[in-house]
Structure 1
Amino acid sequence: MKKIVLVTFLAFSLTPIFAQINAKKVLFVILDGIPADVIDTVSTPNIDKIIAEGGFAIASMGGEVGAYSETPTISAVGYNSLLTGVWANKHNVWDNDIEAPNYNYWTIFRMLKEADPSKKTAIYSTWLDNRTKLVGVNLAETGDFIFDYFFDGLELDSLNFPHGEDKEYIHQIDEAVSKEAARHIRKEGPDLSWMYLQYSDDMGHAYGNSPQMIEGLQKADVQIGRVWEAVQFREKSFKEDWLIVITTDHGRELDGFGHGGQSDRERRIWIVTNAKMTNQHFQQVPAMVDILPSMAYHLGIKIPKKIAMELDGTPFIGPVDATDLKAELKNGEISMNWQSLSKGQKGRVWVSTTNDFKTGGLDNYWLVGEVNLEDGQKTFSLNGTQSKIFKVVLETPSGYLNYWVEK
């Protein structure tokens, strides 16, 4: 009897290990408030190791300037644009107060759990609101989503982390967060995890362009090294396939102190990844909202069509047929244009005059017709149709692009 029990135990204990061979895993990291021109000039040996395996891109945050998707270059707004793959006009987070997120625009965490409840998620964060407000744990509006593991809220612990104006306690919290992230990733290997580090942004607010800002980045690089070693351990020991994406949530004003506006330096962010097969879109100027569809592609998430048609991002890994869709209404016609990234492919154009998705409903789309994606443009008549909004969607073999035309 003991032999039978032993054999049964071994079978069950070996199954998870076997199942994890070539398993797709994702870790994304936000280093707060580091301008692109700073990371591009400061020595960061650990980040450079990741770049050597994949790539580095100057990217953008803030939506389209002067248009409906213009998005403040503010921390929580940037985090949520990454988490949801849409700009602030949709996810409804406009500042760090996070008053009323629109949870109808799912986070990448919810997408993964809805696709496969057995997948494991984790968050390691220097700011509690990332889990409780942005991702929205234990809320009916988020499908009662919960993380399988979380390590956050240390900024509320003034006993172990005495608060001071020099913000050294934030650095100590970042240290604790990065060490725990490395430990947990090495031991448990969650399928999707997020590490957030804050200290670099505090140095910018306190000192502007300064040696302190540079030191903040260098300290973050050490913390990145810890989790990168853990990821490499998982890949070597368990033959897992990890995607790591590192970015910042916004740039800074010219003096380095503030942010929130639409100046070039505030909008200019960056993306680092170990992905070896980045596509043509990554070589251009990817955006914050492109990170979600890229992670979803790596994880093999089949995003529901109604959600995919709302995403503002284009994946920078995997196949991509078109990007940068724009549309305008003039004299009863809608003129569309886009950048084609493929040859010989066809797409379809859809239009809706409703925005019921915003409140949890479904939009009614009608098919305008088929297009050759290489043409890069199409103009069509509305045949007298009147509406306050036209949601224009370009369907391609690799996904959807959307653009709103509002009166």
Structure 2
Amino acid sequence: MKKNFLALIFLAVSLISSNVLFAQTKVKKTLFVIVDGISSDSKEKIATPNLDAIAKIGGYTRAYVGGGKDTYSQTPTISAVGYNSLLTGTWVNKHNVWDNDIKDPNYNYWTLFRFFESQYPQKKTAIFSTWLDNRTKLVGEGLPQTEKLRLDYSFDGFELDTAHFPHDKTAQYIHNIDEKVVNEAAAYIQEQAPDMSWLYLEYTDDMGHRYGDSEQFHKAIQMMDDQMGRIWKAISYREKTFNEDWLMVLTTDHGRSPKDGKGHGGQSDRERGTWIVTNAKNLNASFKNTPGIVDIMPTVARHMNMNIPKGQAFEIDGVPFTGKVSATKLNAVKTGNKIALTWQSVDKEGKAKIWLSIKNNFKTGSQDLYYLMDEVEVANEKAEIDISKYPSGFYKIVLEAKYNNANYWVVEK
């Protein structure tokens, strides 16, 4: 009897341990989505039940693009520029994509795909896109500058197929391509579940350009929401059926012009005003503090357990909006031989190291020399460093804290 009792205890402990292990070893997956050209005020005017369902699990917040307004990082509110800010976690002063021509991207600032493929070559990546340049120019697939990076699956380039998608004056062909891309993404995710994927849809921006703030544009937003419902259904199936932990992040690349909604590219609040929807459950305080599009990159990297080398991590402008974060909103002001630093502390534990470089060798693929200027309590939210020994017209400052880094440049004209 005693042996049977002990056997039952052993069996119960084994089952509990197995369940705990099962819960702890869920396979992490990510899908990030860019739906083009929907300002935050436009999105909030239209019923989006599918986006709302995702946000109910995680959250919705207003966000921004455009970098630091009137600073060294001010970034055009243009499509490809925004895409690359998401992919690299940096503003235009670093990634160097200034417009949709994508003339000379600085591939020294790695994209999510390059980090992921480099660290996890055995895992699977995918892109589903209504614009071919996202893969060939921004991600830089097959280019020597990206060490001939290869994604595992791509579904794009249909805008060049005028036989099947003849270009009509109302841009209906773009909607048709979006539909094809979405349906493939939903099916592929449900069946193959790539580890990290990017979905891009264009039609909403086309309607904004053609009709501005209009019934056509609003209808396009409703169509987009329906499309996201199909994607969410596939992800929900994977989570319920398999041992997978999915992060889904949806955003837009820019807002719309304040006058009539037909344009974008400038620095008005409406052109800079975007939004983020996610199913992430462990959102931190910075999520509700108007995150930037650059914050998506480190959030994805954190979810996917990417280990970003220190020199590259120092360059990332974004801050994760999930999990613990030490400091955000770093700012620096130079007066004479002093630079005054301020930041917002979130998780206030631990100290922060203040690093200074007076060169930007990283831009050309070399390493920067950093000087350790001070170490302070992150909760102080301010510090002052003496730069009298480092005469320069350029200062790159990094706050290295327990849970994240923040960086800021001082550029003297």
TM-score of the pair, normalised by structure 2: 0.93
What residue is the counterpart of 1:266 in the other structure?
271
Write the distance in 2 (CA, Å) between the matches of 1:19 and 1:160: 46
Letter in 1 for 2:55: I
Q: Distance in 2 between matches of 1:77 and 1:120?
A: 26
Q: 2:285 aligns with which of 249, 268, 280?
A: 280
1:131 matched to 2:129: no
Match of 2:8 in 1: none
Of 219, 235, 240, which aligns to 2:239? 235
1:351 aligns with 2:352: no
Show the counterpart of 1:198: 202
Deviation at 1:231, TM superposition (A): 0.6
Q: Is the 8 A contact 2:324 2:347 kept in 1?
A: no
- Conserved 8 A contact 2:76-2:265: yes
- The question of 1:217 aligning with 2:225 is answered no
The alignment partner of 1:40 has SS state of helix
Q: Which amino acid aligns with 1:307?
A: Q
Asked if structure 2 preserves the Cα contact closer than 8 Å seen for 1:20 and 1:240, the reply is: no
* Deviations, residues 228-252 of structure 1 (Å, cap 9, x unaligned): 1111111111120000000000000
Within the candidate set 352, 362, 368, 1:363 is matched to: 368
Report Cα offsets for 1:106-141 as digits up to 9, x if no partner: 000111111111111000000000000000000111
Specify every segment of 5 or more residues in structure 1 that has no aligned partner in the other structure, as ranges.
1-17
1:1-12 matched pairs, under 5 angstroms: none
Q: Are the equivalent residues in 2 in contact too, given 1:20–1:239 (CA < 8 A)?
A: no
**Cα separation, 2, equivalents of 1:224 and 1:144:** 32
2:326–2:349 contact (8 Å) kept in structure 1: no
**Offset at residue 226 of structure 1 (A):** 1.1
Give the deviation of 1:372 after TM superposition.
1.0
Distance 1:296 1:136 in 2: 19
C-alpha deviation, 1:406, in angstroms:
1.1
1:20: Cα distance to partner? 11
Amino acid at match of 1:157: D
- Alignment partner, residue 179 of structure 2: 175
Displacement of 1:316 in angstroms is 0.1
1:341 counterpart letter in structure 2: V
> Retained in 2: the 8 A contact 1:253–1:263?
yes
Question: Could you tell me whether the CA contact under 8 Å between 1:46 and 1:222 is conserved in 2?
Answer: yes
1:79 corresponds to 2:57 = no
Aligned length: 390
| Pair 1:38 & 2:42 matched | yes
Q: 1:102 to 1:279 in 2, by over 3 A?
A: same
Aligned pairs for 1:3-402 (under 5 A) are 22-254=26-258, 255-402=260-407
The separation in 2 between residues aligned to 1:191 and 1:342, in whole angstroms, is: 30
Task: Show structure 2 runs of 5+ residues with no match.
Answer: 1-21
1:402 partner amino acid: N
Residue 45 of structure 2: SS of its match in structure 1? coil
Q: For the structure 1 residues 369 and 21, does the alpha-carbon distance in structure 2 shift closer, same or farther, using more than 3 Å as the test? A: closer
Q: CA RMSD in A?
A: 1.2
CA contact (8 A) 1:26 1:193 kept: yes
Given that residues 296 and 320 in structure 2 are in contact (C-alpha distance below 8 angstroms), is that contact kept between their aligned partners in structure 1? yes
Report the CA distance between 1:342 and its aligned residue: 2.1
Matched to 2:129, the amino acid is: S
Query: Residues of 2 paired with 1:261 and 1:278: CA distance?
Result: 30
Q: Distance in 2 between matches of 1:151 and 1:249?
A: 20
Q: Return closer, same or farther for 1:316/1:20 CA change in 2, 3 Å cut-off.
A: closer
| SS of match in other structure, 1:89 | helix
| Separation of aligned partners in 1, 2:288 and 2:68 | 19
Q: 1:337 to 1:230 in 2, by over 3 A?
A: same
Contact 2:128–2:200 (8 Å) recurs in 1: yes
The CA deviation at 1:384 is 3.7
Give CA-to-partner distance per residue, 1:46-82, whole Å, 9 cap, x none.
Answer: 1111011110010010001111000000000000000
Moved over 6 A (4+): none
- Matched letter for residue 398 of structure 2: V
Aligned to 1:4: none
- Paired-residue identity, %: 54
Report the AA paired with residue 394 of structure 1: L
